[in-house]
Structure 1
Amino acid sequence: MKNISLNNLSKRIIYVDLMRAFAVIMMIQGHTVDTLLADQFRNTDYLGYNIWNTMRGFTAPIFMFTAGLIFTYLLKSDHFEFSKNPRVKKGIKRGFLLIGIGYLLRYPTGKIVDFSNVTQAQWNIFFSVDALHLIGLGLLFVILSLFIAKKLKVKLYFIIIGFILLFLIFSPVINQIEWNNYLPQIISSYLTKSYGSFFPAFPWLVYVLSGALLGSYLYRNEGIYLKKRFSISLSILGSSLIFASFLTFYIQNMFNGNFTNWIFSNGIILLRVGYVILLNGILAFIVRKVNSIPEIIQDTGKHTLALYVIHVIILYGCAWFPGMYKYFSKSFTPVETIISAILMLLSMLFVVQLIGKINDYKKRKILLNKI
């Protein structure tokens, strides 16, 4: 297996490639296990299932945090005026592309324009907000933050912190409002889980924006991630947030009422953000200790969108392809499920290799045409 020297990648945030690859692996195996494992084996009394279920709760936050980090790092907010920043235009396109793909994966009918046989349940699935919608919206929020920062002539991270606090404070309130009574479902689905959304903006944008905050810091401190103090600082910050989350859970047990709901909701967010930041610190520390990383890891991190779309279609299907869920939903034993998850991961690694070969072929063809 080919390795890449870290000296040749000094301009890249290498540990983020590791984190993205870890998130993709966790996501693929998590979706596979959740799709196939029979209900009688989903028992928290089993240590293995308990560990898997706990770790799965952190996969989406890692994915979203990393997306916000990388996008904001590459945004180069201080190098350009807002209207002249090429990354702004690319980011807007990327944001809407992710949202569009999210809706396409949940398209309610195989007939492009005939919706006569679409049921309300199918519309609910179509309008529900999933990871791609949320990340796309998150990128647009980062761009909005940059626009506000340029207008107010303040640093980008001040605006991002303001939005994070806004989502933290108001998420418990927003989630209790029946938004369908006031807004079209396509909009209300971004505000509450009540209509089937997995990742409504309140509070899930906190994870994208938290990543954006770290991305802004990394951009303003080039190469800081290779310093020992960076990994130590992140580890301390992550551990502190985890401790704060457990403190909120302790306070929750002391009080009753709506105030408790607010504490518990933000406690969960602090726990997840703390875990992700701690993981950042650990991976940054590991990168400092190694001289090279397998190329497949870097490539896996770079092709997250393709891997997401392909494995989702294989597992859950789409309007034009039934997927495994239709035939094998929650019917496998643990052994069958583990084997299936391994096969799915190997298949996705093959896809990564295939994409790499196609890209190499295109590059060689371009070079030959220039000769």
Structure 2
Amino acid sequence: MMKQSNRILFLDYMRGFAVIFMVMGHSIDSVLARDVRVTDGFILYDAIRGFTAPIFLFVSGFAFTITTERRWSEFRTFSKATGKRLLKTVALFLIGYALHAPFFSLEKILKETTPALLEQFFQVDVLHCVGASLLMLQLMLFAIPSRRVFATIVGGLASAIVLASPIVWNIDFAPIVGSFFSPYFNQTQTSIFPLFPFACFLFTGVVMGHFYLEAKEKGQENRFVKSMLVLAVVVVALGIDFDLLPISIYPHHDYWKSSPSWFLVRIGIVTLVCAALNFVKRLPDFAHRNLVTLGQSTLLIYPIHLMIVYGSAANYGLMQRIGQTLAAHQAALIGVAVLVSMLMLTYLWNYLRKNYFVPARLIQAGLASTLLYNFLTRPW
């Protein structure tokens, strides 16, 4: 069984780095001038930044496996643990939709939402993708008794979704499943992270997590990690080679969004990062402490930093107040400032929860109830 310390070093380092890229990336994007975005440096930076979501999804799948296999019998029934997991999944959906609400007023949403605003409201972000993927996994878990069979079926499902993505992306699902569910399939409507193919990063994490635990129980962790490194390189090479073939079995599609070849390249690089971090025993205390803190607080940091940089129905963000007008070094400073503020907020919240648990919960409940009351009663 995996020790807690190994779990922190393995998963939270990876997730902590992803949080840094996420906060910096969104902050810079909200204020960076458009003429800077055509430079070679920005194009390289943007390509690296594009791995943030795949890393988050992969780690979410890996963590799902570790948590589930530790308490396999509990999560296969409607236990207290399963109930908590389902509530957290519902919270992902609620936060995701709240961040894209067109107005901070239920009455105004019902009366004044245009089709364009409704499309914005229904868009699928990374929280929706994680929530839908975890819900699918939990439903499968109820029906599959074996750990190995579960991992195998999840791997098969991931492969099927990846291979079907170029075809799925050419179908308008709105007339079939409605405008609410359509964004979960592709970007025919506004959608940032549809399940095709992004759920496969999470599903791949589930499979990797299962075989990692198997290897660890046999005392073959280092051997498995070395195999992951080799596998990652092979997968990247296959992704590149498949794209160079003179024939294609797919209709015209967006390579950067739905191509199985590009998925292989990305999941190979994510796996490479994952395997490399397994060899990191412990970073210096300052880096270790901050990375772990960030990695364990993604659900706190994600919505708050988005509201700060992009704004929401309830507030103006940096994008509205400053606009995309700053030079690269100025935008980078904004990114650092937002990142530091998120780190300070996380430390403060952790301190309150540890030392003043009841007051912290009262603050949390009071804030949530105040926001909900205003949302339900405001006429504008």
TM-score for both structures, normalised by structure 1:
0.87
Q: 1:180 aligns with which of 167, 171, 174?
A: 174
Distance 1:21 1:290, change over 3 A: closer
The SS at the match of 1:80 is: helix
AA of the residue aligned to 1:156: F
Write out per-residue CA displacement over residues 230-272 of structure 1, whole angstroms, 9 at most, x where no aligned residue.
3312211111111111111211xx2367357498700111111
AA of the residue aligned to 1:73: I
Using the TM superposition, give the Cα deviation of residue 281 of structure 1 relative to its aligned residue in structure 2, in angstroms. Answer: 0.8
* Structure 1 gap ranges (5+): 1-6, 367-371
Using the TM superposition, give the Cα deviation of residue 85 of structure 1 relative to its aligned residue in structure 2, in angstroms. Answer: 4.9
Q: Which residue in 1 is equivalent to 2:201? A: 207
Using the TM superposition, give the Cα deviation of residue 299 of structure 1 relative to its aligned residue in structure 2, in angstroms. Answer: 1.4
Using the TM superposition, give the Cα deviation of residue 217 of structure 1 relative to its aligned residue in structure 2, in angstroms. Answer: 2.5
Using the TM superposition, give the Cα deviation of residue 344 of structure 1 relative to its aligned residue in structure 2, in angstroms. Answer: 1.1
Q: Quick check: 1:80 aligned with 2:73?
A: yes
Write out per-residue CA displacement over residues 193-243 of structure 1, whole angstroms, 9 at most, x where no aligned residue.
111100111111001111111222234444689943233122111111111
Q: After the TM superposition, which residues 1-371 of structure 1 pair with which residues of structure 2 at under 5 Å, given as runs?
A: 9-10=4-5, 12-44=7-39, 46=40, 48-76=41-69, 79-80=72-73, 82-83=76-77, 85-114=79-108, 115-150=110-145, 155-222=149-216, 227-251=221-245, 254-255=246-247, 258=250, 261=253, 265-287=259-281, 294-362=288-356
Using the TM superposition, give the Cα deviation of residue 156 of structure 1 relative to its aligned residue in structure 2, in angstroms. Answer: 1.4
- Residues 135 and 208 of structure 1 are in contact (CA less than 8 Å); yes or no, is this contact kept in structure 2? yes
Distance 1:166 1:322, change over 3 A: same
AA of the residue aligned to 1:359: R
The SS at the match of 1:42 is: helix
- Residues 148 and 159 of structure 1 are in contact (CA less than 8 Å); yes or no, is this contact kept in structure 2? no
AA of the residue aligned to 1:63: F
Question: Once superposed, which parts of structure 1, at least 4 consecutive aligned residues long, lie more than 3 Å away?
Answer: 7-11, 84-87, 218-227, 256-264, 289-293, 363-366
Write out per-residue CA displacement over residues 127-180 of structure 1, whole angstroms, 9 at most, x where no aligned residue.
000011111111112212322322x89621111112112201211111111111
The worse-fitting range, judged by mean Cα deviation, of 107-116 and 136-145 is 107-116
What CA RMSD, in Å, does the superposition of the two structures yield over aligned residues?
2.7
Q: Which residue in 1 is equivalent to 2:374? A: none
Using the TM superposition, give the Cα deviation of residue 357 of structure 1 relative to its aligned residue in structure 2, in angstroms. Answer: 1.2
- Residues 66 and 211 of structure 1 are in contact (CA less than 8 Å); yes or no, is this contact kept in structure 2? yes
Write out per-residue CA displacement over residues 257-299 of structure 1, whole angstroms, 9 at most, x where no aligned residue.
7357498700111111101100001111122x66866322211
- Residues 166 and 250 of structure 2 are in contact (CA less than 8 Å); yes or no, is this contact kept in structure 1? no
Using the TM superposition, give the Cα deviation of residue 72 of structure 1 relative to its aligned residue in structure 2, in angstroms. Answer: 2.0
Distance 1:338 1:225, change over 3 A: farther
* Structure 2 gap ranges (5+): 361-380
Distance 1:192 1:55, change over 3 A: same
Identity of aligned residues (%): 27
Using the TM superposition, give the Cα deviation of residue 326 of structure 1 relative to its aligned residue in structure 2, in angstroms. Answer: 1.8
Distance 1:37 1:291, change over 3 A: closer
AA of the residue aligned to 1:74: T
Distance 1:168 1:291, change over 3 A: same
The SS at the match of 2:314 is: coil
Q: Which residue in 2 is equivalent to 1:369? A: none
Using the TM superposition, give the Cα deviation of residue 8 of structure 1 relative to its aligned residue in structure 2, in angstroms. Answer: 8.7
TM-score for both structures, normalised by structure 2:
0.85
